[in-house]
Amino acid sequence: MVWDVFCKVIDNYGDLGVCWRLCTNLAAQGTQVRLWVDDASALAWMAPEAHEQIDVRVWATSTVWPEPGDVVIEAFGCDLSLEFVARMAKRHRTHRVTWINLEYLTAEPYAEHCHGLPSPVFQGPGMGLTKHFFYPGFTPRTGGLLREPGLAARQIQFDRDAWLTKTGVMTSPAQHMRYVSLFCYEPSVLPALLAQLAHGPARTHLLVTAGRATEAVKAAIHTQNTFLGNIDKHEQLSISYLPTLSQLDFDHLLWACDLNFVRGEDSLVRAIWAGKPFVWHIYPQDDDAHHVKLHALLDTLDASPTARAWHRTWNGLSDGALPALEALWQDSLALVGRAHLQQQTDLCAQLQAFVAKPTVKAS
């Protein structure tokens, strides 16, 4: 079978990251995939090793469209070209074409209610087709999460010291050093986190991802130094600013650290699979819809009071002071979530099963 996956890069490359991971999971099963993307530049660092079964194509207004594949994935409501939709409808007259809108990840109840629902097209160039809505999620009544085969085994074989040495973070075995990763937007309490790390009871090495997180940390340090002195020179805290990481090395970062601060959907899922304590920075929305989404996740994962307090404060839902950091080191949120979610069928396998159902028809 041939799958067409469509993606538009909105910001921060999170949409592209999810789509590339989906494509690699499909390709690993022997599926031929065409990834249509309007800006593929981030793949140079996100996925430097191209996959022979993934054909990356530029999605532009002047695109000359080939024959549509057997399955068309419209990622995150990115709105397909009407010309391509017309070609899908034409092909569907003689060959079944399954059209799926892959939705954003949420733990909110509507994901269960809307998962798999059809939306028939009664007019326009797509007349005769049916779009089905596919919701990733955290319960058996949703589409599950992206998880490639062999992930757990790969983590077991991971050599933390070797990876930290390779990246230049560790020059010699560090005794009693705690490692923290930081992948965030610009949380208002970031200076307070740095202050806790700098004056904590244990030595900590902070690994800061490239881009917005690096800029936020440097700005916070400048603010803190104005009041507290050279916080980044404090003997309890050392900082490494990382280059852009491939998806493979981002996993390694999460596995290497004792505590992970992550942002966006894909990194949330990878933090859960890593099984380490984590705090999620949810993408902020103007209408504060992310508040409900965050609480839904914490409820689904049965988060501890410590995890809830940290997530609320880190995401600006609480005006209080940042909770004490020490309680986070032993928080079991990721471990509990991982043990439960590993029992569910992964998203890629569920997509393939959904497509294979004879009842999933486009008319």
Task: Kindly report, residue by residue over 81-104, the tens digit of the pLDDT.
Answer: 999 999 999 999 999 999 999 999
Is residue 43 within 8 Å of 20, Cβ to Cβ?
A: yes
The answer for residues whose C-beta is within 8 angstroms of residue 117's C-beta and 6 or more apart is 132, 133
Q: Strand 32-37 to strand 118-120: parallel, antiparallel, or no bridges (unpaired)?
A: unpaired
The answer for residues whose C-beta is within 8 angstroms of residue 325's C-beta and 6 or more apart is 193, 196, 197, 200
How many whole angstroms separate alpha carbon 182 and alpha carbon 126? Answer: 44
pLDDT value, residue 234: 60
15 is known as an active-site residue:
yes
pLDDT value, residue 225: 65
pLDDT value, residue 49: 86
Written as one string, the DSSP assignment of 214-257 is: HHHHHHHHHHHHHHHS-GGG-TTEEEEE-----HHHHHHHHHH-
Identify the band that residue 361 occupies on the pLDDT scale cut at 50, 70 and 90: very low
Q: Nearest Cα to 359, choosing from 132, 135, 92, 19?
A: 132
Q: Determine how many CB atoms are found less than 10 A away from the CB of residue 152.
A: 12
Is residue 13 within 8 Å of 262, Cβ to Cβ?
A: no
**Architecture of the structural domain at 2-147+344-356:** 3-Layer(aba) Sandwich (3.40)
Q: What is the pLDDT of residues 211-254, one digit of tens each?
A: 999 999 999 988 776 545 555 556 789 999 999 999 999 999 99
Average pLDDT over residues 100-119: 96
Identify the band that residue 359 occupies on the pLDDT scale cut at 50, 70 and 90: low
Average pLDDT in the chain? 91
The amino acid that residue 292 corresponds to is V
Q: What is the pLDDT of residues 169-225, one digit of tens each?
A: 887 766 678 999 999 999 999 999 998 998 888 899 999 999 999 999 999 988 776
Is residue 247 within 8 Å of 47, Cβ to Cβ?
A: yes
pLDDT value, residue 335: 86
Q: What is the pLDDT of residues 4-40, one digit of tens each?
A: 999 999 877 899 999 999 999 999 999 999 999 999 9
Report the percent of the chain where pLDDT is more than 90: 77
pLDDT value, residue 84: 96
148 is known as an active-site residue:
no
Q: Enumerate the CATH 3.40.50.2000 domain ranges in the chain, comma separated.
A: 151-341
The least confident of 145-159, 211-225, 294-308 is: 211-225
Average pLDDT over residues 255-278: 96
Residue in 15, 103, 249, 266 annotated catalytic: 15
For the four alpha carbons of 182, 188, 194 and 199, in that order, the dihedral sign comes to negative
Residue in 4, 265, 266, 346 annotated catalytic: 265
Is residue 182 within 8 Å of 208, Cβ to Cβ?
A: yes
How many whole angstroms separate alpha carbon 228 and alpha carbon 323? Answer: 20
How many whole angstroms separate alpha carbon 260 and alpha carbon 254? Answer: 6
The tokens describing 313, both together, are 């404060």
Domain 151-341 has what CATH class? alpha beta
- pTM attached to this predicted model: 0.93
Is residue 198 within 8 Å of 234, Cβ to Cβ?
A: yes
Cα dist. 33→40, 169, 288 in Å? 15, 37, 36
Report the percent of the chain where pLDDT is more than 70: 94
Whether the per-residue pLDDT at 363 is higher than 50: the answer is no
Whether the per-residue pLDDT at 70 is higher than 90: the answer is yes
pLDDT value, residue 357: 87
Cα dist. 151→257, 297, 346 in Å? 17, 23, 12
**How would you class 36 by CB atoms within 10 Å of its CB: exposed for 0-12, middle for 13-18, buried for 19 or more?**
buried
The tokens describing 288, both together, are 């504060």
